[in-house]
Structure 1
Amino acid sequence: MDTRKIRIFDTTLRDGEQSPGASLFPEEKIIIARQLERLGVDTVEPGFPAASPGDFHAVQQISRLLQNTEICGFGRAVKDDIDAAVRATADAAKRRLHLFLSSSQIHMDFQLRKSREQVLEIARSMVAYAKQHVDRIEFSPMDATRSGEDFLYEMVEAVIAEGATIINIPDTVGYALPEEYGNLFRRVRANVRGGDRVEYSAHCHNDLGLAVANSLAAVQAGASHVEVTVNGIGERAGNCSLEELAMAVETRGGAIGITTGIRSEEIYETSRLVSRLMNLSIAHNKPIVGRNAFQHEAGIHQDGLLKNRNTYEIMDPERMGIPRDMIVLGKHSGRHALKHRMEQYGIRMSEDELNRFAERFKEEADARKFVSDADLLRIWGDTSDTQAEPYSIVDFQVISNHRKIKVASVTLKDNRTGEEASFAAAGSGPVEAVVACIKQAVPMDVELKDMEIHSLSSSESAQGEAQVTVEAGGSLYRGSGIDRDILSAVAQAFLSAINQAVSHSGTGAPDSGNQAEDRTAAGGC
């Protein structure tokens, strides 16, 4: 089967930014735009230049900086919007303009308050006006999937006659089913004069959870552009997810003969960057980039994964830059997973030790939702009379108030020598101060790469869970901590990750007859 390349049009900085609370400063847009270029997107829609001076400046700067990526200026079918988009993208090496105008009867009646004839005239005249400035013109009949098809054909035919080169058929409210959406592209191409001379684009919203499926249906029906956002953000339930579409094509594209130019190794970093800068958390069960996307708790799954990853994973997370973190310990976990996790701390157990450890672990796991690394090592210590972790927290305190800098002190015990030492540090926040204290005790350079904090229930007595990823010696290590005091949970998680790094470096293996083994997979646990 011949392979056809699909062009990825990213609208994270325009439609994605319309998510409530996701507004970005211009400099943040520039940071994301540079990462999108590294990711390999073909087209970036950096914003709505007519919306605000800040958006205009961001689009202008991105147009000047991104020389390998097409820049799309977005606007309504209004002269002022077109003028702003033309000026903002003037310095782009490659550019297009994207105009939209409603085509459904409900939009014309209640939003535009115009007749069909008036709407058609606006579409014709504004595309003709835009064509005087830019050759590549994309036109979107908004709410196309709820429009009368005869009128949709008439509008598309009119804008093609005036010079539109790309026709986007948007599922603006996420209403269409995949078969319906694909057939709509086929019918437009077949029934519109000039429809075989233009390119087609798909823009799908996710109100029914069908955005990726609908986009693939459009591609199979002839669309050559797909409009997406990182993490699937956007109005209401969001847009077609870039990472989901890209990996669906990478994993199954051979079945339908398509490919993209997305560099999969940049997916995870792009996802985390957008999440951080837009302050939008990623759902745990989000495909591809969610915390649970490549984690497994069931004992049968864990056993299979430890023997061969392909038993239960159809993608390799490390190819996408996702740290290897496939085993989650809970009441469903089996002995193989427990043994594997303890070996990550340099602990090899005999059969009798493993039996005692597994029995005690099951008792703890039945009593709680999640067993943290700190809990795991405590259980090992209780069942073996051996201190597994190089360092443990004896005590810590934080002085914090509304306006002043935060000060922390932490007392750690070196379990190899039995010595205790106290460290003090200041920070703009209590977490920064506690982390700075702990880093002073470690005999190696450690960088905190990522941190997630979650509440495990909604009550006032809820426990907080912290997941911390650190980098040391070129490898990533992940630790977890759970406590009703969220600072304590963070401290436990950070120290857990550090203990793994120290153990694997050979400088902190516990002197108990257990030998650390070589670490073969980056990412820790």
Structure 2
Amino acid sequence: MFSHQKYEKQYYLPPTLSYDWVKKETVEKAPTWCSVDLRDGNQALPIPMNLDEKLKMFQLLVDIGFKEIEVAFPAASETEFKLVRTLIDNNMIPDDVTIMVITQAREHIIRRTFEAIEGAPRAIVHLYNSTSEAQRRQVFKKSKEEIKQIAVNGAVLVKELAEQTEGNFYFQYSPESFPGTEVDYALDICNSVLDIWKPTPDHKAIINIPTTVEIAMPHVFASQIEYMHKNLVYRDAVTLSIHPHNDRGCGVSDAEFGVLAGADRVEGTLFGIGERTGNVDLITLAMNMYSQGYDPGLNFSNLDQIRTKYEELTRIKVHERQPYSGDLVFTAFSGSHQDAISKGMKYRKENKIEKWDVPYIPVDPADLGRNYQTDVIRINSQSGKGGIGYILETNYGIKLPYKMNEAMSYFAKNVSDQSNKELSAEEIYQVFKEQYVDFQPYFQLIDYEFHKGEKQEVTLTLLKDNQHVVIQGEGNGSLDAISNALKKHFDIDYALEVYEQQSLGTDSIADSCAQIGISLQGHMYWGAGIDEDILMASVYALVVAVNRLIAYQANEQE
């Protein structure tokens, strides 16, 4: 039965204190990033990565710029143990990278963990045990003091084995299931562990606060973190870390608020892969900083390649709407959005703007290796003239007059609506050709010849009703003469209102595209022509425009 009455608040507010985090605007300095893809992310995969895939993932994380990487739970499986040994024995850990291994606060697991990391150049031993009221009562059936003693005993053994094992070791403790733990009790356990380890500013310990299951709003978590931040012992010798999950969909907010509240370090995964709804997405966090003008310390300039590699190794598909990394996150289908983006991109180019400030697009897609031509504006039945004009101009160099662009958009949207699909740039160009370049159902121009006289004179050969027809005209110029010949032959008196043209390339033999708009009794009729010779392109455009006018009159008479 769907009933809210069987639920109640399960989180704990800290003792009263004045909160400073609410006065801060944004995260200005990157925290220490720790990727947990190889452990926390991997354990959530339907098909966990094998050893070779894990080694490739480790290298991917190094290439991105992570300096701390949780690689394994060595006591969990032989593959996990072997990964750690492979990295150490083959000197695969860069000098500036620290690996991390995780262990429960249980003696045989801790001992197996130290067997795995013997000889490590730099390794963090991550000790944890669950502390929440629900787990104490339901799972362990132990008192607060007994749960605390588990953490203390684990801390003692970790310290002893570190002194007996070759390697360079740092310690981390997590009160797992923190959101359901009384905050002052969690603080007491963490301080008790720190009293065992006695960290120094030159050899810090890490206290990691996980939102193992997210059960409260982000401001509650921030308040809890600030309480921990202000009350931890050895604070100048402690790195305060957070490990947000995403059960309420607020993992990113938890992380950002947590850093504002005093956290120095964030654990998470690429694309947010993790148990249930996942871990916090470190790409989103880093790019949020980047979009505000701050250096996140991670490099996502080839994000498409990172995503492809990640999907290959994890067999998990990144959602199309995943912030920054999804296929569609920089794509506008809406007509009004497309129009604003198109104008914004044009304004940026014309005014040589350095700072990014394009409507609807928070960061420059090119910074992430994305393509303006294929990613930013895509066309379906919801699109508008701005988007369609942008596609033609960006991909083909064809810049349509405003009203012609509007008319073209109706044709393209109708095709998308009838086919019930998105149109590619090639398909949009084909619609343009069919409607404005090749549209000649009533007559075609076969040839023309100019003659000298007081005015420009011309003789045209048309193909009409499968017969060649020769007509003549004169005017003040070449195009005017041809236009007058067509007016006389078809007994129409339109006005040539719009004439535009542009080169479709940069070299001397590039095609030109001409657009012509003629009007009669308040209606506009458009045509386009493409040819190496600008006059020929203009003539072809006029022929199409007149064909459109005749087609309109024929439909009106039916």
- TM-score, with length taken from structure 1: 0.69
- Mapped to 2, the partners of 1:21 and 1:173 lie a distance apart of 20
Structure 1 residues 369 and 91: alpha-carbon distance in aligned structure 2, compared to 1, 3 A threshold: farther
User: Is 1:297–2:297 an aligned residue pair?
Assistant: no
Name the residue aligned to 1:367. 418
What do the CA deviations read for 1:203-235 (whole angstroms, capped 9, x no partner)?
A: 000011111111111111211110010001101
Structural mapping, 1:84-95, within 5 Å:
84-95=112-123
Structure 1 residues 193 and 224: alpha-carbon distance in aligned structure 2, compared to 1, 3 A threshold: closer
Name the residue aligned to 2:133. 105
- Mapped to 2, the partners of 1:269 and 1:507 lie a distance apart of 37
Structure 1 position 337, deviation (Å): 2.2
The answer to whether the 8 A contact 1:44-1:72 is kept is yes
Structure 1 position 51, deviation (Å): 1.4
Match of 2:378 among 318, 328, 331: 328
Match of 1:31 among 44, 53, 56: 56
Structural mapping, 1:65-464, within 5 Å:
65-67=92-94, 68-132=96-160, 133=162, 135-163=169-197, 165-252=205-292, 259-309=295-345, 310-324=358-372, 325-346=375-396, 348=398, 351=401, 354=405, 357-373=408-424, 375-384=427-436, 386=438
- Mapped to 1, the partners of 2:508 and 2:274 lie a distance apart of 47
The answer to whether the 8 A contact 1:8-1:43 is kept is yes
What do the CA deviations read for 1:337-373 (whole angstroms, capped 9, x no partner)?
A: 2233234553637658756643321212333543232
- TM-score, with length taken from structure 2: 0.65
The answer to whether the 8 A contact 2:122-2:169 is kept is no
Structure 1 position 334, deviation (Å): 2.3
Structure 1 residues 338 and 172: alpha-carbon distance in aligned structure 2, compared to 1, 3 A threshold: same
Structure 1 residues 505 and 271: alpha-carbon distance in aligned structure 2, compared to 1, 3 A threshold: farther
Structure 1 residues 359 and 92: alpha-carbon distance in aligned structure 2, compared to 1, 3 A threshold: same
Match of 2:81 among 56, 65, 71: 56
Name the residue aligned to 1:391. none
Structure 1 counterpart of 2:253, which letter?
A: A
Structure 2 counterpart of 1:82, which letter?
A: I
The answer to whether the 8 A contact 1:202-1:227 is kept is yes
Structure 1 position 158, deviation (Å): 1.1
SS in 2 for 1:94: strand
Name the residue aligned to 1:423. none
Match of 2:67 among 39, 42, 49: 42
The answer to whether the 8 A contact 1:104-1:143 is kept is yes
Structure 1 counterpart of 2:370, which letter?
A: I
- Mapped to 2, the partners of 1:253 and 1:119 lie a distance apart of 44
Structure 1 residues 135 and 278: alpha-carbon distance in aligned structure 2, compared to 1, 3 A threshold: closer
| Structure 1 spans left out of the alignment, 5+ residues | 388-502, 516-525
Structure 1 residues 331 and 197: alpha-carbon distance in aligned structure 2, compared to 1, 3 A threshold: same
SS in 1 for 2:377: coil
The answer to whether the 8 A contact 1:346-1:509 is kept is no
- Mapped to 2, the partners of 1:10 and 1:230 lie a distance apart of 8
SS in 1 for 2:237: coil
The answer to whether the 8 A contact 1:265-1:319 is kept is yes
- Mapped to 2, the partners of 1:328 and 1:340 lie a distance apart of 10
Structure 1 counterpart of 2:134, which letter?
A: I
The answer to whether the 8 A contact 1:17-1:23 is kept is yes
SS in 2 for 1:215: helix
Structure 1 counterpart of 2:274, which letter?
A: G
- Mapped to 2, the partners of 1:53 and 1:331 lie a distance apart of 54
**Which structure's CA Rg is the greater one?**
2
- Mapped to 1, the partners of 2:187 and 2:28 lie a distance apart of 29
How well do the aligned residues superpose, as a CA RMSD in angstroms?
3.1
Q: How many residue pairs end up in the alignment?
A: 396
> % of aligned pairs identical?
24
- Mapped to 2, the partners of 1:176 and 1:271 lie a distance apart of 31
Structure 1 position 100, deviation (Å): 1.1
